[in-house]
Amino acid sequence: MPAGGTGGPGDGAAEPGTVRPGGRTARVRAAVLEAAGDMLAEQGFHGLDLAEVARRAAVGKTTVYRRWGTVAGLVADLLTDMAEQSLPRSDTGSLEEDLLANARLVARTLSDPRQGPLFKAVIAAATCDPRTAEALHRFYEVRVAEWAPCVQEAVERGELPGGTEASDVVRAVSAPLYYRLLTTDAPLDEAAARRAAGAAVAAARAGAFVRTP
């Protein structure tokens, strides 16, 4: 962790995401989170430094330390903001089309020149930093919950077996795309998105995600 990354003046500050600011405070938060995201994409978690974030955001160091306290706290708030800003799910009335839209969104995000490296950095950090891991889990809980209704509605329409675990189907769409990002240099293109969505639909129809007693 870089100097200034843990402890310090921010100890005892409110948990990121518990305050919903407006006006100047909102502008400061937006500038700081943008700078933090840029640094994560460029240098990774261990290159993130609160003082440098403050400099890039043109914000006083004291403000950053008081509000976020630690690098982990800043990353947690960044993930909260990313979840809040994510696009809403598609609602086409077709399971195949809904899950394809999800796969395309994931592939587009992970192949973005800024977002792809940012997610890699946060995932790597989550393996060794508990607070970042907790924030990452919350981020994906929000995103999975956003898309789960398209699976639940497919069950109600009779397209999928009763008892299908909607959240597992949504995760099954994203899983091969993240694996492709982290373990290969293959493109996250339309073909990859279609394969991911198609495999999830086929498995769901075969009952692979039905809850067992």
What are the backbone dihedrals phi and psi of residue 164, each rounded to the nearest 5 degrees, phi first? Answer: -65, 130
What are the backbone dihedrals phi and psi of residue 210, each rounded to the nearest 5 degrees, phi first? Answer: -75, 130
pLDDT on residue 11: 32
Cα 37 from chain centroid (whole Å): 12
Q: What is the mean pLDDT of residues 77-81?
A: 88
Q: What is the CA radius of gyration of the chain?
A: 19
Collect all residues with Cβ–Cβ distance below 8 Å to 77 and sequence separation of at least 6.
Answer: 16, 17, 29, 33, 68
79: closest CA among 26, 31, 119?
A: 119
Q: What is the mean pLDDT of residues 179-207?
A: 97
pLDDT above 70 coverage of the chain, percent: 89
- Per-residue pLDDT band for 170 (boundaries 50, 70, 90) equals very high
Collect all residues with Cβ–Cβ distance below 8 Å to 192 and sequence separation of at least 6.
Answer: 103, 107, 176, 177, 180, 186
Q: Are 159 and 205 in contact (CB under 8 A)?
A: yes
- Per-residue pLDDT band for 83 (boundaries 50, 70, 90) equals confident
Q: Are 181 and 106 in contact (CB under 8 A)?
A: no
Q: How far apart are CA 111 and CA 105, in angstroms?
A: 10
Question: Of 97 and 10, which is predicted with more confidence?
Answer: 97
pLDDT on residue 92: 84
pTM > 0.85: yes or no:
no
Collect all residues with Cβ–Cβ distance below 8 Å to 3 and sequence separation of at least 6.
Answer: 49, 51
Q: What is the mean pLDDT of residues 127-142?
A: 90
